[in-house]
C-alpha cells in the first residue's frame, strides 16, 4: 500500500535546506518509497524468470534515485495533490528507463564496464543477451506503467499522454540515445566545449529535464513556471555530468562503486579534460547558481529542488 508522506522539509523560509540533515532525510524517505514501489511493479509468481531476475538485480543494485525524486519534488513545488499517490508510478517508470540505459551503457559494445555501484554489471553477472533483454524489458515496463492510469478521467488521460510523449522524446533518438551516439562517435576525437555541452544536455540532461517536467505536469505550473523548471533542470542536468566527469578523475573508487580514470583510458571528451579541474568545478557551481535563480518564482515548496541542486555538486558518488 502506498502511503502519502508529509514533506519532511516544509518550512517558512528557503533557509530550510541549509541543514543537510533535512536533505538527507528527504532523500532517504523518498528513496525507500520509490524502491518499495519498484519492487511491487517487479513482483511476479514466476520466480524462475531469468530476465526478471536480471531486471531486479540491476534496479536493486543501489542508486541515488535522483530522477524519480526530482519528479516528486517538482510535483510538490507546483502544489500537485498527493504527489506520492499520483506521481509515484511515473517516477518509478523514469527510474526504470534510467536503469535500462545503464545496463546497455555497460555492455561491451558501449563502455564495457565490469562494475556498477560496486557490483558486477548485468552482463557480467548474467550474460550479454540477458542484459540486453533485461534493459529492453525495463524500458517496455516503464511505458506499460505510464499508459495504465487508474480511474481514468478526460483530464488524467490527457496528462498521461503528455507524460508519455515527454519521456519518449527524452529517452529516444532526439534525446538520451542521440547523446549516447554522439559520445561514442566522439571517443578519440577532440571536440570543443560547445559540442560537449550539447552532447551531455542530451545524454544526461534530457531525462533529468523530463523528470522535472513530468512532476510539474501533475501540478499547477503555468507556462512561465514550467519554463523556469525546464531551465532549472537543464542547469542541474549539465552540472550532474560535470561532477561525474570530475569524480571519474579524482573520486574514490570505493565510494563510486566503479573504477576511476576510465574516461581518459577510452579517449572520452570531459569537462575537466577541456577546462581543467578547477575551472570545471567552478562551471558546475555556476550552473547550480543559475538553476537556483530560475526557482525564484517559487515558494518554499520548491526547497527540495533547491537542496537537490546543491546535493548534485557536493556528492562524492
What pLDDT score was predicted for residue 150?
Answer: 73
What pLDDT score was predicted for residue 253?
Answer: 81
SS (H, E, C) 10-51: CCCCHHHHHCHHHHHHHHHHHHHHHHHHHHHHCCCCCCCCHH
Residue 7 confidence (pLDDT) above 70:
no
For 264, residues 6+ apart whose C-beta sits below 8 A from its C-beta are 249, 270, 273
Q: At 37, list the grid cell.
A: 514501489
Mean pLDDT, range 72-81, rounded to an integer: 97
Nearest-angstrom CA–CA distance, 249 and 266? 13
Is 17-314 CATH 1.10.600.10?
yes
Nearest-angstrom CA–CA distance, 285 and 287? 5
Nearest-angstrom CA–CA distance, 239 and 286? 9
What pLDDT score was predicted for residue 138?
Answer: 98
Cell 526504470: give the residue.
Answer: 96
Cell 524500458: give the residue.
Answer: 139
The residue with greater pLDDT, 14 or 102, is 102
Residue 2 confidence (pLDDT) above 80:
no
What pLDDT score was predicted for residue 28?
Answer: 95
What pLDDT score was predicted for residue 250?
Answer: 85
pLDDT in tens, 219-248: 989 999 999 999 999 999 999 999 999 999
pLDDT in tens, 25-39: 999 999 999 999 999
The whole-model pTM stands at: 0.91
Asked if 254 contacts 292 with a C-beta cutoff of 8 angstroms, the reply is: no
Give the ranges where 106-252 is alpha helix by DSSP (H): 122-125, 128-146, 154-171, 176-186, 193-203, 205-217, 223-250
Largest CA distance in the chain: 53
Mean pLDDT, range 182-188, rounded to an integer: 93
pLDDT in tens, 256-295: 767 778 888 888 999 999 999 999 999 999 999 999 999 9
For 87, residues 6+ apart whose C-beta sits below 8 A from its C-beta are 71, 72, 75, 80, 214, 215, 218
Residue 186's closest CA among 280, 313, 273, 256?
A: 273
Nearest-angstrom CA–CA distance, 187 and 15? 43
Q: How confident is the model at residue 94 (pLDDT cuts 50, 70, 90)?
A: very high
The residue with greater pLDDT, 47 or 214, is 214
Q: How confident is the model at residue 128 (pLDDT cuts 50, 70, 90)?
A: very high
Average pLDDT, the chain: 90
Q: What percent of the chain has pLDDT over 70?
A: 92
Q: How confident is the model at residue 8 (pLDDT cuts 50, 70, 90)?
A: very low
How many distinct helices (H) and strands (E) make up the chain?
17, 2
Upper half-sphere CA count for residue 214 (Cβ side, 13 Å): 33
Residue 163 confidence (pLDDT) above 70:
yes
Mean pLDDT, range 143-171, rounded to an integer: 91
Q: How confident is the model at residue 21 (pLDDT cuts 50, 70, 90)?
A: low
Asked if 232 contacts 294 with a C-beta cutoff of 8 angstroms, the reply is: yes
3-class DSSP state of 150? coil
Residue 117 confidence (pLDDT) above 90:
no
Mean pLDDT, range 140-160, rounded to an integer: 88
Residue 1 confidence (pLDDT) above 70:
no
* β-bridge mates for residue 120, sequence order: 115
Residue 157 confidence (pLDDT) above 70:
yes
What pLDDT score was predicted for residue 251?
Answer: 78
Q: How confident is the model at residue 175 (pLDDT cuts 50, 70, 90)?
A: very high
Amino acid at each position: 500500500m502506498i502511503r502519502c508522506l508529509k514533506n519532511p522539509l516544509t518550512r517558512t523560509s528557503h533557509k530550510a535546506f541549509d541543514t543537510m540533515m533535512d536533505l538527507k532525510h528527504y532523500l532517504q524517505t523518498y528513496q525507500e518509497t520509490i524502491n518499495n514501489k519498484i519492487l511491487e511493479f517487479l513482483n511476479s509468481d514466476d520466480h524462475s524468470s531469468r530476465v526478471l531476475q536480471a531486471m531486479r538485480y540491476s534496479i536493486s543494485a543501489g542508486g541515488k534515485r535522483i530522477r524519480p525524486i526530482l519528479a516528486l519534488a517538482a510535483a510538490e513545488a507546483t502544489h500537485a495533490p498527493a504527489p506520492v499517490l499520483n506521481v509515484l508510478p511515473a517516477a518509478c517508470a523514469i527510474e526504470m528507463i534510467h536503469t535500462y540505459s545503464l545496463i546497455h551503457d555497460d555492455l561491451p559494445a558501449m563502455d564495457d564496464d565490469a562494475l556498477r555501484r560496486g557490483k558486477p554489471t548485468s552482463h557480467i553477472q548474467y550474460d550479454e543477451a540477458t542484459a540486453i533483454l533485461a534493459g529492453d524489458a525495463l524500458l517496455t515496463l516503464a511505458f506499460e506503467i505510464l499508459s495504465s492510469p487508474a480511474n481514468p478521467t478526460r483530464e488524467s488521460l490527457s496528462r498521461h499522454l503528455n507524460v508519455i510523449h515527454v519521456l519518449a522524446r527524452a529517452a529516444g533518438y532526439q534525446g538520451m540515445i542521440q547523446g549516447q551516439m554522439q559520445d561514442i562517435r566522439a571517443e578519440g576525437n577532440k571536440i570543443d566545449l560547445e559540442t560537449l555541452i550539447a552532447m551531455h544536455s542530451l545524454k544526461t540532461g534530457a531525462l533529468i529535464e523530463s523528470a522535472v517536467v513530468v512532476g510539474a505536469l501533475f501540478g499547477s505550473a503555468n507556462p512561465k513556471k514550467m519554463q523556469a523548471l525546464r531551465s532549472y533542470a537543464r542547469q542541474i542536468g549539465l552540472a550532474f555530468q560535470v561532477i561525474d566527469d570530475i569524480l571519474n578523475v579524482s573520486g574514490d573508487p570505493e565510494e563510486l562503486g566503479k573504477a576511476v580514470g576510465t574516461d581518459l583510458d577510452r579517449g572520452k571528451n570531459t569537462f575537466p579534460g577541456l577546462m581543467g579541474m578547477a575551472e570545471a568545478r567552478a562551471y558546475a557551481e555556476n550552473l547550480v547558481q543559475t538553476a537556483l535563480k530560475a526557482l525564484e518564482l517559487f515558494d518554499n515548496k520548491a526547497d527540495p529542488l533547491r537542496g537537490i541542486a546543491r546535493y548534485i555538486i557536493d556528492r562524492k558518488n
